[in-house]
Chains A and B, each alone.
Chain A
Amino acid sequence: MVGTKGTVIAVNGNMVGVRFEGIVSMNEVAYVIVKDKRLKSEVIRIRGNLCYLQVFEMTKGIAVGDPVEFSGDMLSVELGPGLLGQVFDGLQNPLPKLAEQAGYFLERGIYLDALPLDANWEFTPTAKVGDVVERGDTLGTVPEGAFTHRIMVPFNLYGQYTVKSIRPAGSYHVRETIAELEDVSGTVIPVALSFRWPVKRAVDCYEERLKPVEPLVTHVRLIDTFFPVARGGTYCIPGPFGAGKTVLQQITSRHADVDIVVIAACGERAGEVVETLKEFPELLDPKTGRSLMERTVIICNTSSMPVAAREASVYTAVTIAEYYRQMGLHVLLLADSTSRWAQAMREMSGRLEEIPGEEAFPAYLESVIAAFYERAGIVRLKDGKVGSVTIGGTVSPAGGNFEEPVTQATLKVVGAFHGLSRERSDARKYPAIHPLDSWSKYNGIIPREKVRYAHSFMARGSEVEQMMKVVGEEGTSLEDFIIYLKGNFLDSVYFQQNSFDPVDAAVSPERQKHVFALLLKILASQFNFSSKEEARTYFNRLRQKFLDYNGSEWKSQRFKEIEEEIMASVAERSQGLDPRAEKLLV
């Protein structure tokens, strides 16, 4: 049903003013009709019989007097089997399909079905006629890659329904009716394998939201051991350009211990997006042995795509993440970068001539950022199963300055902070997460007191380094100098990790625990050196061995040999243990 109609009266950038007759709702989708093209837009302001649309496409060629059709629906995505493995733009257009149809360029006004109608799914009913069901309850299942995809009562059906009919096991496409539900007034509602949900509303069909306590293993040592992330938690990675945000996100998307990864590129470099796009189908998921793409959904908006579509992309991504969470799966959403998204908001706000807040961002920036991260969470579903959405967002602060509004607004609402530093990336210390600035409120894979003890060498080592800058090496005591060397050692063999080395790129939690124990022993050892030069030479050699150790296969012959060499070398020089550390080492 097409309802309200209107006509264009003004064009300014991607904002179009429309005079309309009838009823228009906020955030409703409308189409501006230009010659033979229908340009998708969203209502963002209404005043009397005038409204303003943000057009999700380039607005070239629109004229005053062009007709506008209002759809009556909010910006929504289609949820159903077949989302996994796809590459969508922010409006859920499948990009590879679009390429088949339109060629190299993203032509305007072409919108394709998100879920193909020519694919069939093997449906197995689990509900029976007469069952009383609510939104989110399971009616049946279809296999999707390695997962059992639940076909659920659409989340927008509030109230109780009786199953009036349900189709037998068989092969159906996503829009076919597979069940009929009857509400209390006797109205019958057909239900298909897929349904639509408005992206800007959080999916809330669960029993209870739980506290995120279980660590989410990323296989990055610095994160898992020192600044952990929790399943259902949130974290952010701010950093200046070139500090390694994107590489860190790529590593996490490959190795994080979750069922499904949703990647939202909200205005990123096409050259990097294409890397994920082309490599994922060829990479194997170490857990399942299947293509990594089978458990990945990519929402891809390059920086040159229209600003309004970029603004929509994080919502599309989080809605898809929440949908799979409702099946009791663990989902990781990586948003790269939320600053681009915030900038899109700023652009729109500027065009609306709203009174600007700090650094010209809109006054509602904080609440919008908070509301987005709050869509993360670990939940207990009605059937007792637990599912989670973890959100990790990168932030690209202007000038690399963490005081800016987007970073600050994000820091208020996340559970872990992985601050990247220019200084560390300049010195090629990767991942460039600064070990003194970063923090996490979550539990990791190693007890906190052990981590704290190791971390103290980094902090004290850095103090000694600062002091040395004032008093010089000769003015520093040998004891302090050793602390400084230990801090450096910890940094170069544990904090730093070579993401291009096949072994070192992803380190299992077992190996992290094992290596950390050895490292702790070295840090706690009291060495007796006669000079600073001797101490430096010793740690240089030890570092060399440790780097070779990090590069050798876990539990291989070589791994064991190097480990023995390291232990022998420590035993030879150590004069005993730091008494404060003794109980940590048992």
Chain B
Amino acid sequence: MKKIYSKIESITGNVITVRATDVRYGDLAEIDTAFGTSLAEVIRLQEDLVSLQVFAGGRGISTGDTVRFLGHPMRVSFSENLLGRIFNGAGEPRDKGPTLRENLIPIGGPSVNPSKRIIPRRMIRTGIPMIDLFNTLVVSQKLPIFSVSGEPYNELLARIAMQAEVDIIILGGMGLKYDDYLYFKDTLENAGALSRTVMFVHTAADPVVECLMVPDISLAVAEQFALQGKDVLVLLTDMTNFADALKEIAITQEQVPSNRGYPGDLYSQLAARYEKAVDFDTAGSITILGVTTMPGDDVTHPVPDNTGYITEGQYYLKNGRIEPFGSLSRLKQQVNGKTRPDHRALMDGMIKLYAAYKDTLEKKAMGFMMSAWDMKLLKYGEKFEKEMMDLSVNIPLERALDLGWEILADCFEPEETGLRTELINQYWPKKRA
């Protein structure tokens, strides 16, 4: 029998302290309050003083409530029964299904040994030229969508999820608006994908501590599926809410804040989650697509900044388009050398010209006379934006490559493109009679 403690020493925000012995760092406890039972996690030990983070929050907890230590860290039930189900951040059902108790696995486990990883090498086709052609998504990649509030980031996330060829989808929602939660649910349902989906959803109205558990619980489940040989796609939205939850809790704990109030270990905390993306050498894989909303469209804000140094690139969503500048898939060179010989050269060549177009736009805005070259760039930039960048374009990679050459041939002479002669000889569209 586990001992029950009923003397709560202090309550600060979501953190309570009790005096107890024989408690291990990271263990769980249950607290019985007037509002029901909540889980709590040990986050600090100092002699016999134990600090606990209460999942359901500190509101309404009384000094007379009882605390019972469970003697193990946070766990989640893992089996095929998870598929099609929806849970909250503490692993309790959010749908009308039964609570799952079998085969409990720990969450937040150790890192994968880098020598057991394989080089990512499988492309994930999405039908979106700004991804497939310019920043190819690769199995096992960890990639955030950097976005401003108001952009259709959840729509983009859902569309990639629907079109990506994977076995299992796990959605981890953090601080989701209720409408957005329903949007994901409906979209996955309509596409007939719910049966291969597990959702762990924390909505904006739920206790903030539960938000922190969502990525760990989602990734622990993903890891088990991957070890069974499945290709798993984990969608995490929105990681900025996760970081803000970390900040909120660190400050209540009176930790020395680092950058803009975020805790000093923000980088490590984010990395511990994103690094779960993996392609196992003899099993399945985990691909992570997250959303990172950027307060004030500021990419130097600590959350996107730290994220950028951890993830293998990012899609930068702005004005409803994936921007070529700022967007990057670090793993694209693992796969785009094997698609078509013109892929890499065309990808760089078109962006170089698009950068020149942006300069010309600036000149135009200043009211300068446009040279013949400027006119060509203007034509090119407009075509590029309309025919390639628009998110509604849905074509396979090969068609996108052909389209790229058509746009170039429509606007420029071959030697103006900076592409090598041999490629031009092979791919430059013949003039239509």
Q: Do A and B bind each other?
A: yes
Set of chain B residues within 8 Å of A429, measured between Cβ atoms: 352
Residues in A with CB closer than 8 Å to B369 are: 472-474
Q: Smallest Cβ distance from A293 to chain B, in angstroms?
A: 13
Given contacts A427-B355, A472-B368, contact A62 B47 (CB under 8 A): no
A106 x B112 contact (CB < 8 A): yes
**B114 CB contact (under 8 Å) in A64, A274, A350, A396:** A274
Question: Cβ of A305: which chain B residues have Cβ within 8 Å of it?
Answer: 111
Contact B24 A302 (CB under 8 A): no
Within 8 Å CB of A441, what residues of B? none
Interface size on B, residues (CB 8 A): 90
Which A residues from 285 to 337 make CB contacts under 8 A with B?
300, 302-305, 307, 337
**If A350-B258, A359-B259, A428-B355 touch, does A270 touch B278 (CB 8 Å cutoff)?**
yes
- Residues of A contacting B328 with CB < 8 Å? 242
Let me know if A505 is at the binding interface, CB within 8 A. Answer: no
Chain A positions within 8 Å of B275 at CB level? 269-270, 302-304
Question: Is B109 among interface residues, defined by CB-CB distance under 8 A?
Answer: yes
> Is A401 within 8 A of B278, CB to CB?
no
**Which residue of A105, A540, A548 contacts B109 across the interface (Cβ within 8 Å)?**
A105
Binds A, one of B168-176, B237-245, B412-420: B412-420
Q: Which of B57-65, B86-94, B298-306, B386-394 contacts A (4 or more CB under 8 A)?
A: B298-306
Interface string of A456-484 (1 = CB under 8 A from B): 00000000000011101110000000000
Interface string of A240-283 (1 = CB under 8 A from B): 11100010000000000000000000010111111101110000
Give the contacting residue for B113; candidates A64, A106, A548; CB below 8 A.
Answer: A106
Q: Mark B271-294, 1 if CB is under 8 A from A, else 0.
A: 110111110100100000000000
Can you name the residue of chain A whose Cβ is closest to the Cβ of B119? A278
Q: Is B196 an interface residue (CB 8 A)?
A: no
Residue B325 interfacial (CB < 8 Å) = yes
CB-defined contacts of B268 to chain A, threshold 8 Å:
303-304, 307, 347
Digitize B343-387: 1 where CB-to-A-CB distance is under 8 Å, 0 elsewhere: 010001001100110000011001011011110000000000000
Minimum distance in angstroms from B117 CB to a CB of chain A: 4
In the complex, which of the residues A96, A302, A427 contacts B111, with contact meaning CB atoms closer than 8 Å? A302
- B345's nearest neighbour on chain A, judged by CB, is A498
Given contacts A12-B44, A104-B116, A272-B312, contact A472 B363 (CB under 8 A): yes
> Among A53-61, A68-76, A121-129, which stretch is in contact with chain B?
A53-61
The verdict on A346 contacting chain B, using a C-beta distance below 8 Å, is yes
Q: Which one of B109, B264, B299 has the highest number of Cβ atoms from chain A below 10 Å of its Cβ?
A: B264
A207 at the interface (CB under 8 A from B): no
Report how far A573 CA is from B421 CA in the complex, Å. 23
Instruction: State A273–B310 Cα separation when bound (angstroms).
Output: 12
Q: Smallest CB-CB separation from B258: which chain A residue?
A: A360
Report whether B109 and A63 are in contact in the complex, using a CB–CB cutoff of 8 Å.
no
Chain B: minimal CB distance from A508 (Å) = 21
Q: Is the CB of A271 within 8 A of B300?
A: no
Contacts between the two chains (Cβ within 8 Å), count: 235
Given contacts A399-B305, A548-B421, contact A274 B117 (CB under 8 A): yes
Residues 302-334 of chain B: 1 if any A CB is under 8 Å from the residue's CB, otherwise 0?
100100111111100000000011101011011
Q: Is A269 within 8 A of B368, CB to CB?
A: no
Choose among A62, A300, A500 the residue that contacts B337 (Cβ–Cβ < 8 A). A500
Q: Is the CB of A300 within 8 A of B114?
A: yes
Assembly CA distance A536 to B374 (angstroms): 12
Task: Give the distance in Å from the alpha carbon of A401 to the alpha carbon of B24 in the complex.
Answer: 42
| Interchain nearest-CB distance for A295 vs B (Å) | 19
- B116 contacts which of A60, A61, A99, A543 (Cβ < 8 Å)? A99
Cα separation A533 to B375 with both chains bound (whole Å): 13
Which residues on the B side are within 8 Å of A99 (C-beta)? Answer: 113, 115-116
Q: Does B204 contact A (CB under 8 A)?
A: no
Contact residues in A for B309 (Cβ distance below 8 Å): 241, 303, 337, 339-340, 396
Q: Considering the chains assembled together, what is the distance between the CA atoms of A337 and B373 in angstroms? A: 41
Question: B363, A350: Cβ atoms under 8 Å?
Answer: no
Query: What CA separation (Å) do A340 and B278 show in the bound complex?
Result: 21
CB of A353 within 8 Å of the partner chain:
yes
List, in ascending order, chain B residues with CB within 8 A of A474's CB: 368-369
Q: Output the nearest chain A residue to B273 by Cβ-Cβ distance.
A: A304
Taking a contact as CB atoms under 8 Å apart, the answer to whether B45 and A353 are in contact is no
In the complex, chain A residues whose CB is within 8 Å of the CB of B302: 398
> At the interface, yes or no: B257 with Cβ under 8 Å from chain A?
yes
B23 close to chain A: CB less than 8 A: yes
Chain A: interface residue total (CB-CB under 8 A): 87
Question: With A and B bound together, what is the CA distance between A96 and B355 in angstroms?
Answer: 44
Interface string of B14-48 (1 = CB under 8 A from A): 00000001111111000000000000000011111
Contacts of A398 in B (CB 8 A): 259, 300, 302, 305
**CB of A513 within 8 Å of the partner chain:** no
In this assembly, does B141 line the interface, its C-beta being within 8 Å of a C-beta of chain A?
yes
Residue in chain B with minimal CB distance to A401: B300
B256 contacts the other chain (CB 8 A): yes
Is B142 engaged at the interface, CB distance under 8 Å to the other chain? yes
Q: What is the chain B residue whose CB lies nearest that of A19?
A: B47
Q: How far is the CA of A269 from the CA of B307 in the complex (A)?
A: 11
Contacts of B326 in A (CB 8 A): 242, 426
Residue of A270, A273, A500, A551 with most partner-chain B CB within 10 A = A270
Min Cβ gap A405→B in Å is: 12
A156 contacts the other chain (CB 8 A) = no
- Shortest CB distance A134–B (Å): 39
Q: CB distance B418 to A270 under 8 Å?
A: no
Interface residue A87 (Cβ < 8 Å from any Cβ of B): yes
Tell me, yes or no, whether B98 is within 8 Å of chain A by CB. no
Interface residue ranges of A207-222 to B (CB < 8 Å): none
Chain A residues with Cβ below 8 Å from B126 are none
Choose from A64, A356, A540 the contact partner of B23 (Cβ within 8 Å). Answer: A64
User: Are A269 and B312 within 8 A (Cβ)?
Assistant: yes
Contact check, A13 vs B141: say whether CB atoms are below 8 A apart.
Answer: no
Contact of A274 among B118, B264, B371 (CB under 8 A): B118
Q: What is the CB-to-nearest-CB distance from B275 to chain A, in angstroms, rounded to a whole number?
A: 3
Set of chain B residues within 8 Å of A428, measured between Cβ atoms: 348, 351-352, 355
Q: Does B120 contact A (CB under 8 A)?
A: yes
Task: Determine if B5 is an interface residue (Cβ-Cβ < 8 Å).
Answer: no
B405 interfacial by beta-carbon distance below 8 Å: no
Contacts of A198 in B (CB 8 A): none
Q: Which residues of A contact B26 (CB under 8 A)?
A: 59-61
A541 in the interface (beta carbon within 8 A): yes
Q: Does A167 contact B (CB under 8 A)?
A: no
Chain A residue, CB-CB nearest to B372:
A533
Q: Are A98 and B421 in contact (CB under 8 A)?
A: no
User: Which residues of the other chain, A, contact B109 by a CB distance below 8 angstroms?
Assistant: 105
Q: What 1/0 mask marks residues of chain B from 140 to 160 whose CB sits below 8 Å from any chain A CB?
A: 111000000000000000000
Compute how far the CA of A551 lies from the CA of B344 in the bound complex, rounded to whole angstroms.
15
Greatest chain B CB density within 10 A among A10, A105, A303, A543 is at A303
Contact B120 A271 (CB under 8 A): yes
Q: Is B255 an interface residue (CB 8 A)?
A: yes
- In the complex, besides A11-B44, A270-B112, A356-B258, 8 extra interface pairs with C-beta distance below 8 angstroms are A63-B22, A87-B114, A103-B116, A104-B113, A275-B119, A339-B309, A536-B373, A544-B421
The 12 listed contacts between A and B (C-beta, < 8 Å) are: A11-B45, A64-B23, A95-B113, A99-B113, A104-B113, A105-B112, A242-B328, A246-B330, A302-B111, A350-B258, A427-B351, A429-B352
Which 6 residue pairs of A and B lie closest in terms of their CB atoms, listed nearest first?
Answer: A399-B300, A304-B275, A472-B368, A303-B271, A350-B264, A60-B26
Q: Which residues of B contact A (CB under 8 A)?
A: 21-27, 44-48, 73, 108-120, 140-142, 227, 255-259, 263-265, 267-268, 271-272, 274-278, 280, 283, 299-300, 302, 305, 308-314, 324-326, 328, 330-331, 333-334, 337, 344, 348, 351-352, 355-356, 362-363, 366, 368-369, 371-374, 415-416, 418, 420-422
A interface residues with partner B (beta carbon < 8 Å): 9-13, 17, 58-65, 87, 95-96, 98-99, 102-108, 240-242, 246, 267, 269-275, 277-279, 300, 302-305, 307, 337, 339-340, 343, 346-347, 349-351, 353, 356, 359-360, 396, 398-401, 426-429, 468-470, 472-474, 492, 500, 532-533, 536, 540-541, 543-544, 547-548, 551
